[in-house]
Amino acid sequence: MQMPAMPPSRSRAGWSPMNLRLELLGLPVIQINGEAVNLRRRRSRALLYYLAATNVPQSRDHLIALLWPDLDEPRARHAFRSTLYQLRQAGLPIEANRETVYFSAQAEVWVDVTVFRQRAAHLCAPTDPTATGPMALAQLTELAALYRGEFLEGFYLDSLNYEEWLYLERERWHGAYLDVLERLIEAQIEAGHYLQALNTAQQALATDPLQERFHRAAMRLLAWLGQRTEALTQYERCVQVLRGKLGIAPLDETEALHRAILEGKVVPPIGTPGASGPAGERWPAAGCPSPFVGQRGGHWVLSEVLARAESDPTPVVMITGEPGVGKTRLVQEVLAVSSVVTIWGTARPAPLPRPYAPLIGALRADLSAHGIPDGLEPAMLAALAPLLPELGPGSGSTDPARLWEALALWPVARARSGPVALVLD
């Protein structure tokens, strides 16, 4: 329901019903009933952004560890209370009890990342009739427009815990945006809007020139539009950027498309408005996961390893290969149809060194999804607390042997209730 714009009113009992709008994709925007809200304290903004992005109530202890990791507990809790007070004084509909902090159910809260997530999931549903056709094209165009720039562009906080979360979120939303552009290209092609699709592919490459899929899209679309020379030039750009930035050659799929363009075999697909000529290559479905091909041998081996996990509970599998050949996708495909609990950690380049980062990310995700494993001794939790402050007070010990023991025992404890796959990507 759309409410008329009015300044927020506050009383001893709290605040009046309102519309809160938060835009996190690009330079952050905070509005109450259409009026901008200026929060001077950086940590006040950081707390608000985190609540909005996660879209679930957050524990006080977790927020304190996230925002004030370097303060002792009394000072950190005092700073936390002060921050909550400032947010409420600004009229923001934030409530708290002894355990959690959350947005009031009485407020209408609109957050762009929540809308983006929900609409993207809907448009990727193959059984939904509105996920294709003109309606999908219009919705995808609107969805792509929600991404105004990098997640929380220009924002930072002098907290390693918060910066780590911020880095991962930026990577996630950057990838989600590119996936939407890929799906938008598919919809534009289905409608016969080849020039618009080409513009979208170039928009994606301007955002991330290392995305080989969009180089292929531009090559194919240029060929369909009769611009063979430009299509071949696009291939050369792809080769240069991949070799210059990553030191790798294009994928076989890209090379095959290049040969097809040279031989004049790339023509628009039959069935799209305005398409003519013999049947050519169809554009692979985008946005929704494409059919997984080319790794069936590896798929079978991993499936067999998982099937034998109960009798051989400690197999170790190493998957190697050049970037972009589908290693991560292979593991995702196998685990998606299995019943094992997956603890997944990803190693990424970061502006600041972060020891144990893949394991920290894996355990933090598992903790968020499943809670603390049953049977993990308090001493082990205390040893992990320096890496996972949300577990509570630490032991004060930095013994590497005890830390490694605790890291190893976490998945072991989780496996007491069923098979577990620990993946370090």
What confidence category does residue 43 fall into, taking pLDDT thresholds of 50, 70 and 90? very high
Torsion angle in degrees (nearest 10) through CA of 302, 304, 306, 312: -120
Residue 205 lies in a domain: yes
| pLDDT value of position 323 | 59
| Residue 186 and residue 65 share a domain | no
| Residue 254 and residue 146 share a domain | yes
Return the number of other C-beta atoms located less than 10 Å from residue 278's C-beta.
7
| pLDDT value of position 391 | 74
CB contact at 8 A, 394 and 402? no
| pLDDT value of position 404 | 81
Q: Mean pLDDT score of the chain, rounded to an integer?
A: 80
Average pLDDT over residues 24-43: 93
Counting residues of the chain whose pLDDT is more than 70, the rounded percentage is 76
Token digits of residue 323: 């970037």
**Domain boundary pick from 84, 112, 140:** 112
pLDDT tens-place string over residues 304-341 = 666 666 556 567 777 776 555 567 767 776 676 666 78
| pLDDT value of position 301 | 62
| Residue 100 and residue 32 share a domain | yes
Residue 210 lies in a domain: yes
| Residue 138 and residue 179 share a domain | yes
Give the Cα separation of 336 and 370 in Å (integer): 17
Residue 231 has pLDDT above 50, yes or no: yes
| Residue 151 and residue 92 share a domain | no
pLDDT tens-place string over residues 204-228 = 999 999 999 999 999 999 999 999 9
Contacts of 165 (CB under 8 A, 6+ apart): 50, 66
Residue 44 lies in a domain: yes
Closest CA to 133 of 187, 69, 96, 80: 187
Bigger pLDDT: 238 vs 377: 238
Domain count, the chain: 3
Burial of 146 (0-12, 13-18, 19+ CB in 10 A): middle
Residue 215 lies in a domain: yes
User: What is the residue whose two structure tokens read 């947010």?
Assistant: 87
Q: Choose the weakest-confidence range: 168-172, 232-236, 279-283, 334-338.
A: 279-283
Residue 132 lies in a domain: yes
**Domain boundary pick from 112, 129, 156:** 112
Residue 291 lies in a domain: no
Average pLDDT over residues 149-158: 93
pLDDT tens-place string over residues 253-297 = 999 999 999 999 988 875 444 443 333 344 444 334 444 434 445
| pLDDT value of position 364 | 79
| Residue 65 and residue 138 share a domain | no
| Residue 135 and residue 87 share a domain | no
**Domain boundary pick from 238, 262, 286:** 262
Bigger pLDDT: 247 vs 396: 247
Tell me the residue range of the domain where 38 lies.
15-112
What confidence category does residue 10 fall into, taking pLDDT thresholds of 50, 70 and 90? very low
| pLDDT value of position 400 | 75
CATH number at residue 26: 1.10.10.10
| Residue 155 and residue 96 share a domain | no
Give the Cα separation of 355 and 357 in Å (integer): 5
> CA-based Rg of the chain, rounded to a whole angstrom?
25
| Residue 25 and residue 152 share a domain | no
| Residue 241 and residue 122 share a domain | yes
Residue 51 has pLDDT above 80, yes or no: yes
| Residue 130 and residue 108 share a domain | no
CB contact at 8 A, 286 and 182? yes
Q: Choose the weakest-confidence range: 35-49, 161-175, 252-266, 330-344.
A: 330-344
Bigger pLDDT: 60 vs 351: 60
| Residue 420 and residue 307 share a domain | yes
Residue 155 lies in a domain: yes
Residue 68 lies in a domain: yes
Bigger pLDDT: 236 vs 394: 236
CATH number at residue 122: 1.25.40.10
| pLDDT value of position 388 | 74
